[in-house]
Amino acid sequence: MREAHHEKYAYKKNLSIALLTLGLAACGGGGGDNSLNTTTTGSNGSLRLALTDAPSCGYDAVNVTIKSLRVHKSASAADSDAGWADMVLAPARRINLLNLTNGVLEEMGQIPLSTGKYTQLRLILADNEPSNPLANSVLPTGGAEVALKTPSGQQSGVKANIDIDIAANKMADFVVDFNACKSIVSAGNSGQYLLKPVVSVIPRYVSGVSGFVAGSLASASTSVSLQQGGVVIRATVPDTGGRFQLQPVAPGNYTLVMTSPGRATTVVTGVPVSPDSVTTLNNSGTALTSAVSATGLIQGNAPTNTLVRVLQPLTVGTSVEVAGKFVDGITGNYSYSAAVGAPMVAAYVPPPASLAFVADTAAAGKYTLAANLSGFPDKTAVLPVLAASAAITTNFTFP
């Protein structure tokens, strides 16, 4: 399973809109080459964007074709109003989001902007047309590439409210984090997939966390994430050598979580991230591993466009997310395989000291569900203890 954004209040802001939820914070500095290099003169500033991805669930490729990004100072500006500034990608760029893990960035470009506050952004994707039927597509693991149906209204773009200040002779530098796992929605038994973009935009921090997982876990089905309050801030998958890098990440303290099918959850608490540096979790000789575990099934139904997350409460006083995605786009069904074994938990210590993992037996098989549907208060459900090969069904309704 391949699996981004601040504390719980930020999660609601970042993930509650089914099409696209975008939180922006201004950040100065940054240089380097990009595909639309421009210079800033006079009283103008500029905006630079790059693209990265969180892990995907069950896909070998997730392709999107981006035509342009537009920004405006008015949150209510219509498509035809004056005042739009456009970052046009010519030609439109087809990007496999799953190539953008472990800190890899796809530079989108740089655009000069007049100074002031910008409050609206529109991301414009190319349509799947007869001449280019796979402009946006997915390649399910073990399957064939199929078109990815994008939201209607691509001519005007997917609208997002933003709040960024452009200062004279300064560059606002951001990374667009496209969560492919939570953005791809199956459509019943049709074999089709829908795109409900879950995107956040963060400053281009240098800081992050790096480390290693055991070779037996070095696969696309293993997810490593940094979390705060049970909310995934940044996630990736290890490379073929077991190395992972979670970057960019804002300075702060995090819980590192590793999940893999048929394995108990592995957790490292109190991982510090300092400004302008990458924290080393471990080395290849002390790579993270996890115990093989029997599994049970967590399943149910909710209205379409509902995001259902599986949280595992720990006795250290926090919960961690072990899975999460939108329910089926037609049936509203969801299902997750979850480990019944006790999670392994260790407090962070800097290398060369080794992490001391202890089984959190009181947390074995215990899970909570969190359901989010735009326009309604979030709902939660505490599940009975999950047993091996058992199934727990929980349905959500919203008024």
- Output the 3-class SS for 232-289: EEEEECCCCCCEEEECCCCCEEEEEEEECCCECCEEEEEEEECCCCEEECCCHHHCEC
Beta bridge partners, 336, equal 298
Q: Does residue 106 register a pLDDT over 90?
A: yes
pTM (2 d.p.): 0.84
Of 154-163, 176-185, 362-371, 376-385, the one with minimum mean pLDDT is: 154-163
**Closest alpha carbon to 93 in 116, 117, 124:** 124
pLDDT band at 152 (very low <50, low <70, confident <90, very high): low
Q: Per-residue pLDDT tens for 35-85?
A: 333 344 457 999 998 888 877 678 899 999 999 988 899 989 998 899 999
Q: What are the boundaries of each domain within the chain? A: 8-203, 208-393
Query: 């209204």: which residue's tokens?
Result: 153
**Closest alpha carbon to 25 in 39, 15, 10:** 10
What letters, b where the CB count within 10 A reaches 16 and e where it falls short, cover 202-238?
Answer: bbbbebbbbbbbbeebbebbbbbbbbbbbbbbbbbbb
3-state class (DSSP) for residue 396: coil
Provide the CATH topology of domain 208-393: Immunoglobulin-like (2.60.40)
Q: What is the pLDDT of residue 201?
A: 76
Q: Does residue 116 register a pLDDT over 50?
A: yes
Q: What is the pLDDT of residue 105?
A: 93
Q: What is the DSSP string of 102-163?
A: TT--EEEEEEEE-SEEEEEEEEEEPP-BTTBTTSSEEEETTS--EEEEPPS-TTT-EEEEEE
Percentage of the chain surpassing pLDDT 70?
Answer: 88
Q: Per-residue pLDDT tens for 131-149?
A: 999 999 999 988 899 999 8
**Distance of alpha carbon 266 from alpha carbon 138, whole angstroms:** 29
**Distance of alpha carbon 221 from alpha carbon 261, whole angstroms:** 7
CA torsion 288→292→298→303, rounded to 10°? 40
pLDDT band at 154 (very low <50, low <70, confident <90, very high): low
Q: Per-residue pLDDT tens for 206-243?
A: 999 999 999 999 988 999 999 999 999 999 999 999 99
Q: Does residue 356 register a pLDDT over 70?
A: yes
Of 43-47, 207-211, 260-264, 336-340, the one with minimum mean pLDDT is: 43-47
Over residues 110-124, mean pLDDT: 89
Q: What is the pLDDT of residue 54?
A: 74
**Distance of alpha carbon 251 from alpha carbon 206, whole angstroms:** 9
3-state class (DSSP) for residue 39: coil
Of 15-29, 301-315, 377-391, the one with minimum mean pLDDT is: 15-29
| Average model confidence (pLDDT) across the chain | 86
**Distance of alpha carbon 61 from alpha carbon 243, whole angstroms:** 20
**Closest alpha carbon to 139 in 57, 60, 230, 255:** 60
Higher confidence at residue 274 or residue 162? Answer: 274
Q: Does residue 153 register a pLDDT over 60?
A: no
Q: Are 224 and 271 in contact (CB under 8 A)?
A: no
Q: What is the pLDDT of residue 283?
A: 95
Catalogue the long-range contacts made by 88-93 (C-beta closer than 8 Å, 24 or more residues apart): 88/36, 89/35, 89/36, 92/65, 92/66, 92/67, 92/126, 92/135, 93/35, 93/65, 93/66
Beta bridge partners, 347, equal 269
Query: 């219509």: which residue's tokens?
Result: 78
pLDDT band at 2 (very low <50, low <70, confident <90, very high): very low
Higher confidence at residue 15 or residue 252? Answer: 252
Q: Does residue 9 register a pLDDT over 90?
A: no
Please name the residues in contact with 169: beta carbons below 8 A apart, sequence gap of 6 or more.
40, 43, 44, 45
Q: Does residue 186 register a pLDDT over 50?
A: yes
Q: What is the pLDDT of residue 120?
A: 83
